[in-house]
């Protein structure tokens, strides 16, 4: 089902030309430059000696238990080793050393629960809880190297759990709380997790939303799981298994508060995070300790311009995604920052909730996704205008291309017309920010992610892997190893080589199409593979197709990402029914019920975020002679466009059939 599409296929010609017309520019304000963490000299230093640059960053930003002698070992490419003979502990770097430096009273997390409960957690509090949680994990049978699955809402325990794992060298696998029990089960099985950390539930849109039942369901068939640690958040009733289940609060209370962080080898696995690939099976992206933490801390400092003594930082991502890993947990905490951690949605109990939090906590740095900005834009500027947002001095965006209109709205309405915006391009696989402006240094161009951060080398290449000239488009690649690069796909080294390193020899293929403008700024156009980006979340077309086909009434399915004003892309599915179901769907009124049933089926199999916006029941799918579904044509239908070239179809009348079928009243 995988396919190699062309750049023009992924990013339509219209997008390419639209982007070319954006010529507004915002040079840095000298007052900002004077205080900025990121300096123009960084580019020269990195260009002069890249390895020395990264060795300096590692030593400057982190505390090593044992210094390293070699910065990069690329002899077994594409398997990199950074700082290999050095040793450090990630949790010690994120917590203990700040307490030892006399900053134990500094707030690490201003937690804001959706119902309105709040808790300020200092670095000293965090240290106490992380140490206790580490002891609980050890007592539950987790040893160094064992995996722990974390399935939690956005509550402090999510951060504490991740750090407790890091402290004892047990790689964590955080599974987004919105994923289904099936998705959780397959991730537990792939990583053979020994412990699962979850909660009774969390608050979502004003109501408790249960998590434990999904875990109970997943754990039933997970032989590797010895214990389930349960955080009490909603106090709703839960089913209890006396042999496996442990209440988090009871276990932490009983645990010893003493624990010494053990130094880990720099290449010791820190975490696995599953992400959608071009096949149905999610990939367990593996990150290790020293290189990952170096680049997370460095980019958080220079790109978000974090001054830990004075800033209040807020990244609105969920810890279930890589953005939460690198820019809620590891980067900001390694830097000793104070941050907001918010449990809920932006519109509960009212559409100004985010802006209210910013006003209340005097947030100075805010990092979110373009889809959120577009949603707020749709709700109207009157909502944020009711709040005092003057504390904001840096704004960031991540996860998908940000269109110039949303960028300008973000700057004017949220940033008071002055806060620099950093549009940051990176991936689960890159571990940390790769392409971004540096605030105070770069002249900003709305809609462009701009250039590689100092120390990173990216380019845009053509089909043959040759660098394209400015003003041209192609594939986004990374041509030199970087500290926070993925070290592989859990349990599947061949897939790692095949997915990222086989298209262009010795070069990392990111899977995104991009264009370089006349000044060499990078404009990311979106995925060129069968991966969709819905509200900044990566979803695989194949994975949703498999979910649909697993329904007894479905014979075949094709899924495409159609452009959507708010979510960037939306899931649109074309479904061929099995014999009996065809007649059923033809009965008056039954078609709509069946569509609802299929949408819910996808939510159950994968999670609510994967629910198709639209399901069209069709009699045929457009296929090439070699049997590949031509999603490009289905995208034309989903986006109400005239259908493109059909000459490579095995049967060119199929598209007529689909369109006639759609014209039929439901
Ligand atoms: C961090 C994160 C990665 C994919 C990536 C690209 C898209 C991320 C972007 C962007 C345009 C940006 N993407 N940042 N596209 N501009 N600033 O999102 O990781 O979930 O792995 O997604 O997201 O398509 O390849 P991940």
Give residue-wise pLDDT tens across range 180-217: 999 999 999 999 999 999 999 999 999 999 999 999 99
In angstroms, what is the span from residue 561 Cα to ligand 1's centroid? 15
The predicted pLDDT at position 509 comes to: 97
Q: Which CATH class is domain 535-663?
A: alpha beta
* Mean pLDDT value of segment 76-97: 98
Please work out, in degrees rounded to the nearest 5, the angle formed at the alpha carbon of residue 491 by the alpha carbons of 426 and 263. 75
In angstroms, what is the span from residue 174 Cα to ligand 1's centroid? 19
Q: Which helix (H) or strand (E) holds 388?
A: none
Strand partners, 275: 283
The predicted pLDDT at position 286 comes to: 98
- Which residue's alpha carbon is nearest to atom 26 within ligand 1? 427
- Which residue's alpha carbon is nearest to atom 17 within ligand 1? 425
Residue 194, token pair as written in the block? 């020994």
Residue 21, token pair as written in the block? 């017309």
* Mean pLDDT value of segment 538-549: 85
Model-wide pTM > 0.95: no
In angstroms, what is the span from residue 335 Cα to ligand 1's centroid? 24
Q: What residues have CB less than 8 Å from 330, skipping those under 6 apart?
A: 90, 94, 292, 293, 296, 297
Give the percent of the chain with pLDDT over 90: 76
If one residue of 538, 541, 569, 610 were mutated to test the ligand 1 pocket, choosing by the most ligand atoms within 8 A of its CB, it would be 538
Question: How confident is residue 280, by pLDDT bands cut at 50, 70 and 90?
Answer: low
Question: How confident is residue 648, by pLDDT bands cut at 50, 70 and 90?
Answer: low
In angstroms, what is the span from residue 533 Cα to ligand 1's centroid? 8
- Which residue's alpha carbon is nearest to atom 16 within ligand 1? 401
Poorest-pLDDT segment among 126-140, 407-421, 552-566? 552-566
Question: How confident is residue 453, by pLDDT bands cut at 50, 70 and 90?
Answer: very high
ipTM of the prediction: 0.99
In angstroms, what is the span from residue 41 Cα to ligand 1's centroid? 27
Question: How confident is residue 371, by pLDDT bands cut at 50, 70 and 90?
Answer: confident
Return binding residues: 204-207, 323, 399-401, 423-428, 512, 527, 535, 538, 549, 551, 554
Listed by start position, the domains of the chain span 30-515, 535-663
**Over the chain, what is the mean pLDDT?**
92
Question: How confident is residue 528, by pLDDT bands cut at 50, 70 and 90?
Answer: confident
Return binding residues for Mg(2+): 549, 551, 554
Strand partners, 569: 563
If one residue of 448, 536, 541 were mutated to test the ligand 1 pocket, choosing by the most ligand atoms within 8 A of its CB, it would be 536
Question: SS in 3 state form for 398-441?
Answer: ECCCCCHHHHHHHHHHHCCCCCCEEEEECCCCCCCCCECCCCCC
Q: What does the alpha-carbon distance between residue 405 and residue 452 come to, in Å, rounded to a whole number?
A: 23
Peptide bond connecting 62 to the previous residue in cis, omega within 30 degrees of 0: no
Inter-axis angle of helices 181-191 and 590-605, to 10 degrees? 30
Q: Which residue has the higher pLDDT, 16 or 589?
A: 589
* 629 secondary structure, DSSP code: B
- Ligand 1 pocket residues where CB is under 6 Å: 275, 321-323, 398-401, 423-428, 449, 510-512, 524, 526-527, 533, 536, 538
Return binding residues for CoA: 204-207, 323, 535
The predicted pLDDT at position 655 comes to: 83
* Mean pLDDT value of segment 142-149: 98
Question: How confident is residue 18, by pLDDT bands cut at 50, 70 and 90?
Answer: very low
Among candidate residues 341, 376, 305, 333, the one with its CA nearest the CA of residue 535: 376
If one residue of 316, 374, 421, 425 were mutated to test the ligand 1 pocket, choosing by the most ligand atoms within 8 A of its CB, it would be 425
- Which residue's alpha carbon is nearest to atom 11 within ligand 1? 401
pLDDT reading at 666 higher than 50 = no
* 92 secondary structure, DSSP code: I
In angstroms, what is the span from residue 259 Cα to ligand 1's centroid? 37
In angstroms, what is the span from residue 504 Cα to ligand 1's centroid? 20
Environment class of 626 (CB within 10 Å of its CB; exposed 0-12, middle 13-18, buried 19+): exposed
pLDDT reading at 1 higher than 50 = no
In angstroms, what is the span from residue 190 Cα to ligand 1's centroid? 24
Poorest-pLDDT segment among 295-304, 319-328, 341-350, 530-539? 530-539
* Mean pLDDT value of segment 546-572: 90
Q: What residues have CB less than 8 Å from 614, skipping those under 6 apart?
A: 562, 570, 571, 572, 573, 638
Sign of CA dihedral 404, 406, 412, 414: negative
For residue 305, is it left (φ>0), alpha (ψ between -120 and 50) or beta? left
Poorest-pLDDT segment among 100-109, 237-246, 380-389, 625-634? 625-634
The predicted pLDDT at position 627 comes to: 65
Peptide bond connecting 182 to the previous residue in cis, omega within 30 degrees of 0: no
| Ligand 1 atom with the shortest distance to the CA of 527 | 24
Strand partners, 26: 444
- Which residue's alpha carbon is nearest to atom 15 within ligand 1? 400
The predicted pLDDT at position 663 comes to: 60
pLDDT reading at 10 higher than 60 = no
In angstroms, what is the span from residue 213 Cα to ligand 1's centroid? 32
Look at the domain 30-515 and name its fold.
Rossmann fold (3.40.50)
The predicted pLDDT at position 13 comes to: 35
């Amino acid at each position: 089902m995988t396919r190699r599409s062309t750049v023009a296929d992924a990013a339509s010609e219209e997008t390419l030309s639209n982007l070319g017309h954006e010529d507004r520019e915002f040079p840095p304000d000298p007052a900002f430059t004077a205080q900025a963490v990121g300096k123009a000299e960084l580019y020269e230093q990195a260009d002069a000696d890249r390895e020395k640059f990264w060795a300096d960053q590692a030593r400057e930003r982190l505390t090593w238990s044992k210094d390293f002698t070699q910065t990069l070992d690329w002899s077994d490419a594409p398997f990199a080793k950074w700082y290999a003979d050095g040793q450090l502990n990630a949790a010690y770097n994120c917590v203990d050393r700040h307490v030892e430096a006399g900053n134990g009273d500094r707030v690490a997390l201003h937690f804001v629960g959706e119902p309105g409960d709040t808790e300020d957690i200092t670095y000293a509090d965090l240290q106490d809880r992380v140490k206790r949680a580490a002891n609980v994990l050890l007592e539950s049978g987790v040893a160094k190297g064992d995996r722990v699955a974390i399935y939690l809402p956005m509550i402090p325990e999510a951060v504490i759990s991740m750090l407790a794992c890091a402290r004892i060298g047990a790689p964590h696998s955080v599974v987004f709380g919105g994923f289904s029990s099936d998705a959780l089960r397959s991730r537990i099985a792939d990583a053979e997790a020994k412990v699962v950390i979850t909660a009774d539930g969390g608050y979502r849109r004003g109501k408790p939303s249960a998590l434990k039942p999904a875990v109970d369901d997943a754990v039933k068939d997970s032989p590797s799981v010895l214990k389930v640690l349960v955080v009490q958040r909603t106090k709703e009733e839960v089913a209890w298994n006396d042999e496996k289940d442990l209440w988090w609060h009871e276990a932490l209370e009983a645990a010893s508060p003493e624990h010494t962080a053990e130094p880990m080898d720099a290449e010791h696995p820190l975490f696995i995070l599953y992400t959608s690939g071009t096949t149905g099976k999610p990939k367990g992206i593996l990150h290790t300790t020293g290189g990952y933490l170096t680049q997370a801390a460095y980019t958080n400092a220079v790109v978000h311009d974090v001054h830990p003594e004075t800033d209040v930082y807020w990244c609105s991502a969920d810890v279930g995604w890589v953005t939460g890993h690198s820019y809620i947990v590891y980067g900001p905490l390694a830097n000793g920052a104070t941050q907001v951690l918010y449990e809920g949605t932006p519109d509960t109990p009212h559409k100004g909730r985010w802006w209210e939090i910013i006003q209340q906590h005097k947030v100075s740095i805010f990092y979110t996704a373009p889809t959120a900005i577009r949603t707020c834009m749709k709700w109207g500027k009157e909502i944020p205008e009711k709040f005092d947002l003057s504390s904001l001095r840096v704004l960031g965006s991540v996860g998908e291309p940000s269109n110039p209109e949303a960028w300008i709205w973000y700057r004017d309405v949220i940033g008071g017309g002055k806060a620099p915006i950093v549009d940051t391009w990176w991936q689960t696989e890159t571990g940390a920010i790769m392409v971004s402006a540096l605030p105070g240094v770069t002249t900003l161009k709305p809609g462009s992610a701009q250039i590689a951060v100092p120390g990173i080398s990216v380019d845009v290449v053509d089909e043959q892997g040759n660098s394209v000239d400015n003003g041209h488009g192609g594939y986004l690649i990374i041509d030199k190893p970087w500290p926070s690069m993925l070290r592989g796909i859990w349990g599947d080294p061949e897939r790692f080589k095949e997915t990222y390193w086989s298209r262009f020899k010795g070069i990392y293929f990111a899977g995104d199409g991009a264009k370089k403008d006349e000044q060499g700024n990078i404009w990311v156009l979106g995925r060129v593979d069968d991966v969709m980006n819905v509200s900044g979340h990566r979803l695989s077309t194949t994975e949703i197709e498999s979910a649909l086909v697993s329904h007894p009434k479905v014979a075949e399915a094709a899924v495409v990402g159609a452009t959507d004003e708010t979510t960037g892309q939306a899931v649109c599915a074309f479904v061929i029914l099995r014999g009996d179901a065809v007649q059923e769907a033809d009965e008056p009124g039954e078609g709509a019920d069946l569509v609802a049933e299929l949408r819910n089926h996808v939510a159950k199999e994968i999670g609510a975020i994967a629910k198709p916006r639209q399901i069209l029941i069709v009699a045929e799918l457009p296929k090439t002679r070699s049997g590949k579904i031509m999603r490009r044509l289905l995208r034309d239908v989903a986006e109400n466009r005239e259908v493109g070239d059909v000459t490579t179809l095995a049967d060119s009348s199929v598209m007529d059939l689909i369109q006639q079928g759609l014209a039929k009243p439901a």
